[in-house]
Amino acid sequence: MTTSATTPATSPTTTTPQAPRPSAAAKPVRWAADTVSALREGARLRLDYSAPSLWRADRLIDELRREDTPYAAVDHTLRGLGAYAGEVIARQTGAEWWASGGDHWIRTPDGRLWDPIDEARRCFTGDGSLRLLCLDAMAAGR
């Protein structure tokens, strides 16, 4: 006796593929992840991609500035913290990364462009805040 019905082979765990992110996101997402990992290991700073965690990022940048750390010594960290802030904005608002000429911005659903990497650099000069940038971007999306 032959059976016409067959049971398809299934794996015990099924994953749903995520929608691919724009290629502009590749570098800043990596910068953010590298910085989160380095700060967790080196400075014992926990960053969880939440808006409140940007307060800790602002404090770290402020401490670096007050210690008169040379800009060249923190350039990559600032870039990573800016990318981290951009990722927080992207996750909170549905924004996407945009890139042109080596620069990276976040575009919120309302069409506005934000430059979190430059904002991190402005924080280092005492004239910016990643937390406030995120709050502004989140408010603009409402």
Question: Residue 44: is its pLDDT beyond 70?
Answer: yes
pTM of this structure:
0.82
Helix or strand (DSSP H, E) at 105: strand 103-107
User: What does the angle CA 95 – CA 83 – CA 34 come to, to the nearest 5 degrees?
Assistant: 130
Section 27-50 average pLDDT:
93
102-128, pLDDT tens digit by residue? 899 999 999 999 999 999 999 999 999
Question: Which range among 13-22, 45-54, 79-88, 92-101 shows the weakest confidence by mean pLDDT?
Answer: 13-22
Neighbours of 138 (CB within 10 A): 16
* Greater model confidence, 25 or 108: 108
